[in-house]
Amino acid sequence: MTEANMAAIQRLLDKQAITEVLHRYARGVDRCDRSMLEIAYWPDAIDDHIIFKASGDELLDNICASIRNMRTAHRITNILIEFDHDAQARCESYVWAYHNMSVEAGGREDIVFGGRYLDRFEKRSGEWRIAERRVVMDYFQRQPASEDLGVFGSLEINGGHFPSDPSYALPQRSLHA
């Protein structure tokens, strides 16, 4: 195998590793799983998340506190990765984030956010994580949650936060690491 082929394979492996960090982040947020978020960000990472800007423990505490009483679903797509060098990459990814939350007046509200994550990733000791993130909002919808769930009204919502979500019962926690 040529050196150029080896370098191309390494780039593909690095892109896959970065993509998996993005997916771990989404899962960490939706499951309110701090340990999952810790392996998505470097401890000194900075995140400008529109409504807060923080780093380290403050960042993770803020994320977990913000979504603790919500049901969320984050979808990350259109992932474009460009490498500055072997240990640094820039990434733009689209995010669609659904939030179902209680409102002060009673009842629940649905919020849908569409935007992009502009990330700088760093590879340290062979591991990729987010070093810097800026969230860009492209659209935002807010409306009362539907009271008429039709046939779905009789179904139990069984997704949840860490550790009660059914995904944590999988053998050897295979989706966690």
**Which position has the higher pLDDT, 157 or 26?**
26
Higher pLDDT, 60 or 176: 60
With H, G, I as helix, E, B as strand and everything else as coil, classify residue 143: strand
Give residue 162's pLDDT: 86
Q: What is the DSSP letter of 1?
A: -
In tens, the pLDDT along 64-102 reads 999 998 999 999 999 999 999 999 999 999 999 999 998
Going by C-alpha positions, the residue among 29, 47, 17, 5 that lies closest to residue 132 is 47
Distance in angstroms between the alpha carbons of the first and the last residue of the chain: 31
Please check whether residue 134 is in contact with residue 116, taking contact to mean a CB–CB distance below 8 angstroms.
no
pLDDT score recorded for residue 149: 65
107 Cβ neighbours under 8 A, 6+ residues apart: 144, 145, 147
What per-residue confidence (pLDDT) applies to 152? 66
